[in-house]
Homo-oligomer: A and B are copies of this chain.
């Protein structure tokens, strides 16, 4: 099969790999029908995260079950499934608490599972899925989704689940005022999640016309282009002199974290899903003085998917709108380039 391999910073190649097979009774093999490039895939691509050896990459995919191990009774060949961005067992205390991203048997796509076996990356033609019954989510009644539905299902792998996690962590609910920092796919999904959870006012911080348009489509009531103190002042002005009840931080840099923190009112809540980089910190004394709640981290996508899936299937939300470019898998290198240069919000790859 063909699969995307990262060899080093800036070095993405699509290569031949053995077609995967069921190796453990808890495995399934999934034929990938759509995958995509994540903002976090750009860290090794940009050399921010070291690439120690060539490895399969990609952690967002949907597809069709081709075969299952003897212990996988809840799935069968032909099922259309969504793969969350990590493997989880569903039985350890962490999974039972809903924190599947802290699973005792956690494994990542393109890494190795807890049996020491290699796990395929998501940007390829097929994947061996460990702990398939607890990891994959079957899409009921769907075998061949059209492109629109497929795209939205694919966002549940990561970006829509992550935007939802930011909104939940920021305590978004009916009547709340919301600021979203970050206009990447996750930030845009954060806008959609805030809207879905009943926010009254949603301010998207964005300077790009194409992203602003998606934000408005997703429910943003206002767009703020200013940053730093000017951005905070603008938020305060839009909200009648008070800062936001809920702030979603969807970037992870020092600047974006400050922007987010300073946009929250006393007693407000900050949900952060951008992986903290470049010295991003939260001064404890500021939290104390302002009584601001901070919560977030990797989204437990597996926990959220059933709830979000219902709204995707009913057409209530259309997060697949974040894909503005589609390319064949063979052009994965160009997909990374387009994301890196911010020519695309998010690129979908079809194997």
Q: Which residues of A contact B (CB under 8 A)?
A: 93-94, 97-99, 101-102, 169, 241-242, 245, 257, 265-267, 269, 272, 275-276, 280-285, 287-298, 300
Give A329 to B302 CA distance when docked, in angstroms.
Answer: 60
Residue ID in chain B nearest A103 by CB atoms: B266
Task: Given A94-B267, A97-B267, verify A298-B288 contact (CB < 8 Å).
Answer: yes
CB < 8 Å: which of B241, B269, B285, B297 contacts A288? B297
Task: Given A276-B285, A290-B102, verify A266-B296 contact (CB < 8 Å).
Answer: no
List 17 A–B pairs whose Cβ atoms lie within 8 Å, in order of A's numbering.
Answer: A94-B266, A99-B265, A99-B291, A102-B266, A276-B284, A276-B285, A276-B288, A280-B284, A281-B281, A282-B284, A282-B287, A287-B296, A288-B297, A289-B298, A291-B298, A293-B294, A294-B295
> Can you list the 10 inter-chain pairs with the closest CB atoms, starting with the nearest?
A102-B266, A99-B267, A293-B295, A291-B297, A288-B297, A276-B284, A93-B242, A99-B266, A294-B294, A276-B285
Task: Let me know if A293 and B291 touch, CB within 8 A.
Answer: no
Residue ID in chain B nearest A93 by CB atoms: B242
Give A267 to B285 CA distance when docked, in angstroms.
Answer: 23
Closest CB of chain B to A177's CB: distance in Å? 11
Closest CB of chain B to A54's CB: distance in Å? 26
Give A275 to B285 CA distance when docked, in angstroms.
Answer: 8
Task: Given A93-B241, A97-B267, A102-B267, verify A287-B291 contact (CB < 8 Å).
Answer: no
A291-B297, A292-B295 are known; give 10 further A-B pairs, CB within 8 A: A93-B241, A97-B265, A169-B293, A275-B288, A276-B284, A282-B282, A282-B287, A289-B297, A292-B297, A293-B294
Task: Let me know if A288 and B295 touch, CB within 8 A.
Answer: no
CB < 8 Å: which of B94, B102, B242, B294 contacts A287? B294
Give A101 to B265 CA distance when docked, in angstroms.
Answer: 13
Closest CB of chain B to A63's CB: distance in Å? 28
Give A241 to B283 CA distance when docked, in angstroms.
Answer: 31
Give A280 to B282 CA distance when docked, in angstroms.
Answer: 12
